[in-house]
Amino acid sequence: MNAPVKIAVVGAGLIGKRHIEAIAASGSEAMVHSITDPDPARSAIARQLDVPYFQTLQAMVSNSAPDGVIVATPNRFHLEDTLYCISKGIPVLVEKPLAVTAEEGLKIVIASEEKGVPVLVGHHRRHNPLVQRAKAEIEAGSIGQVVSVHATCWLYKPDDYFNVTWRRQTGGGPIYINLIHDIDLLQHFCGPVETVMAMQANTARSHEVEDTAVITLRFENGALGTVNLSDTIVAPWSWELTARENPAYPVTGQATYWIGGTNGSLEMPTMRIWHQQNTRSWWEPIDARHVPVRSTDPIEAQIKHFSAVISGDKQPLVPARAGWQALRTIEAVKRSAESGSTVNIAI
């Protein structure tokens, strides 16, 4: 049996702590190498785990290089921290978004690909068995040619969530925080987005940032898509409240994605595939078959995968290029919503 890989956690905040728990849950595959965080209060986490504590990434790496690094710092540090790890040849799991802008993100893509140092982006939903089964069903032709997709992301962030200034300002809203996950999945199912048209509103909360947006997409393969997004609607239809990924959220048992093909359609995460037995026609009966999938914690699955990436056994499931693809699509959504124009991503 191989020795556990030593993973350094840089940024021990909300998501950093979930990564620490996931490393502990991985058993003998991984262990926490150290905690790095400029906030001295986070040293208590290192003491509890009996691992070294550092205030900077550079100090941590020069003390004793880990096998891999999780960059769970605020977005503005992702570029610098990830490029530093790549320069030292250390594989990285960087939280989403890959960087603050697509231009910055591309620097990470180029550095990772040129130096051959793997970068895994924290779009953890991709590690969910539901997503992997849906992708397999689509690739096996279960619903025929994908023609159109729709995603609803309606949820209500409690009013005190907005006590933090940056969450009321441009960049802190549901387009950058939530939609990026949905866009990553829709591109995973349908391939790259080519064109975007979007509208946004801040009518309900009247903050500078958007609270609601509607987005239409054209994928390079010709499929179309729509996403309806809001963090100010009380509703049961969002990945967060349906996919059972984070026990902190209540579960509603509803669907939130609909993927439509020429032979059937797939609703997720309820995993029902709608078909017609004999003739495809709106006059004929239509039935659903349930695809049973056992849900597992995708953050834990992501750590197991990262351990395999560090060991050289696997290539990143979500490489830097995929994280960049999601980020540039989100930028296009924002550009379209602000300008009122259609944005062609390829240009």
Ligand X SMILES: NC(=O)c1ccc[n+]([C@@H]2O[C@H](COP(=O)([O-])OP(=O)(O)OC[C@H]3O[C@@H](n4cnc5c(N)ncnc54)[C@H](O)[C@@H]3O)[C@@H](O)[C@H]2O)c1
Instruction: Give the interface with ligand X as residue ranges (CB under 6 A).
Output: 10-16, 36-39, 42, 72-75, 77, 95-96, 122, 124
Strand bridging mode 287-290 / 224-230: unpaired
Residues 100 and 304: their CA atoms lie apart, in Å, by 27
Rounded alpha-carbon distances, angstroms, from residue 117 to 12, 95, 107, 274, 317: 24, 16, 13, 42, 14
Q: Which residue lies nearer to ligand X by CB, 74 or 222?
A: 74
A 10 A CB-CB count for 236 gives: 16
Least spacing, CB of residue 120 vs ligand X, in Å: 12
In terms of phi and psi (left: phi > 0; alpha: psi -120 to 50; beta: otherwise), the region of 142 is: alpha
Residues 209 and 47: their CA atoms lie apart, in Å, by 39
Least spacing, CB of residue 71 vs ligand X, in Å: 8
SS3 label, residue 230: strand
Q: Which residue lies nearer to ligand X by CB, 6 or 123?
A: 123
Q: Which residue lies nearer to ligand X by CB, 169 or 221?
A: 169
Shortest-Cβ-distance residue relative to ligand X: 13
Least spacing, CB of residue 238 vs ligand X, in Å: 13
Element (H, E) at 273: strand 272-275
Q: Which residue lies nearer to ligand X by CB, 36 or 232?
A: 36
A 10 A CB-CB count for 255 gives: 17
Residues 189 and 227: their CA atoms lie apart, in Å, by 14
Q: Which residue lies nearer to ligand X by CB, 82 or 307?
A: 82
Least spacing, CB of residue 88 vs ligand X, in Å: 15
Q: Which residue lies nearer to ligand X by CB, 73 or 152?
A: 73
Least spacing, CB of residue 208 vs ligand X, in Å: 19
Least spacing, CB of residue 299 vs ligand X, in Å: 8
